[in-house]
Structure 1
């Protein structure tokens, strides 16, 4: 196996992970009706994960370099969860609903 085969494998795996991330974002957006700022945060986290520029680079620190990536995903996940919960509370309270027809 030469270097070009290894690079191809890495790019295919990264592409697959990126598509999986996009699929998760679309599922969460449709299922839980996340507001646009949640979408921006999720896409930003996905871009940070795919970006070779990191606060803690994996190439230097090895597996320890994944800590910042996991932290970004965790923070965005918690924030989006709170957005979804807040939207649910508002919906259950009747805020944002269109008034029904009056009789």
Structure 2
């Protein structure tokens, strides 16, 4: 039986997005562009949300279909 690592993947993607938003390197666009610098944060968070949604959707579809005999 295969192990399902989808939850771990989703958690790591979420943590990565949060770490990016809190990193000192991410302050550079905010300093240079002002409020527009938060756009890169929004893109990262939306992208992470979409990736997590896709992972969890595939997981639920795998669990909903019966296993082949």
Give the TM bin, normalised by the shorter chain.
Answer: 0.7 to 0.9
Q: Partner residue of 2:8?
A: 36
Matched residues, number: 62
Q: Give structure 1 stretches of 5+ with no counterpart.
A: 1-33, 96-103
Which has the greater radius of gyration? 1
The one-character-per-residue Cα deviations of 1:1-59 (angstroms, maximum 9, x if unpaired) are: xxxxxxxxxxxxxxxxxxxxxxxxxxxxxxxxx52111111000000111121286101
Q: Following superposition, which runs of at least 4 residues in structure 1 exceed 4 angstroms of deviation?
A: none
C-alpha distance in structure 1 between counterparts of 2:21 and 2:27, whole Å: 11
Structure possessing the higher relative contact order (Cα contacts under 8 Å, 6 or more residues apart): 2
The one-character-per-residue Cα deviations of 1:41-97 (angstroms, maximum 9, x if unpaired) are: 1000000111121286101110110111100000000010011110110010034xx
C-alpha distance in structure 2 between counterparts of 1:35 and 1:55, whole Å: 30
8 Å CA contact retained: 1:49, 1:69: yes
Q: Give structure 2 stretches of 5+ with no counterpart.
A: 1-5
Q: Partner residue of 2:41?
A: 69
TM-score by length of 1: 0.55
Q: Partner residue of 1:51?
A: 23
TM-score by length of 2: 0.80
Question: RMSD over aligned Cα, in angstroms?
Answer: 1.7
